[in-house]
Copies of this chain bind each other. A is one copy, B any other.
Amino acid sequence: MVTTSEAEALERHPELADLCPMPDIAKLIGGKWKLIILQILIFKGTKRFNELRRMIPGVTQTMLTNQLRALESDGLITRKVYAEVPPKVEYTATQRALDLEEMFHAMHNWWLKADG
């Protein structure tokens, strides 16, 4: 590997220390589906599994389950299972996720600025 380690990078470029760690952030909210899931749960409130599935174009059951589980284990959403038949499971954004609202607004404004 012909790359730089994080220690080397910081040693040679101490001015980078004030930048927040993008790779860590990307692990939490990166990927094809996490942002759109969060966006819906943050701005449109609690949703059931199949509601989300129908709201997100192109997502498969498998991927939706995977991503929801990942978001749950990162503390961004909660999962509430009702002991009913047919099954009922609700997903809700945690406070940590709600704190992302500002970022989503900034993104939204940025998008509008170019897209009209």
B36 touches A3 (CB 8 A): no
Give the size range of A's interface with the partner. Answer: 35 or more
Query: Which residues between 63 and 105 of chain A lie within 8 Å of chain B, taking CB atoms?
Result: 96, 99-100, 102-103, 105
* With known contacts A40-B16, A43-B19, A55–B25 Cβ distance under 8 A: no
Instruction: Give complex CA distance A5, B113 in Å.
Output: 26
Measured between C-beta atoms, what is the minimum distance from A17 to chain B in Å? 12
**A112 to B, closest residue via Cβ:** B20
Measured between C-beta atoms, what is the minimum distance from A56 to chain B in Å? 7
* With known contacts A20-B107, A22-B35, A30-B30, A54–B99 Cβ distance under 8 A: no
Residue A116, interface by CB 8 Å: no
Contacts of A30 in B (CB 8 A): 30, 32
Residues of A within 8 A of B (CB): 1-6, 8-9, 12-13, 15-16, 19-26, 30, 32, 35-36, 39-40, 43-44, 53-61, 96, 99-100, 102-103, 105-114
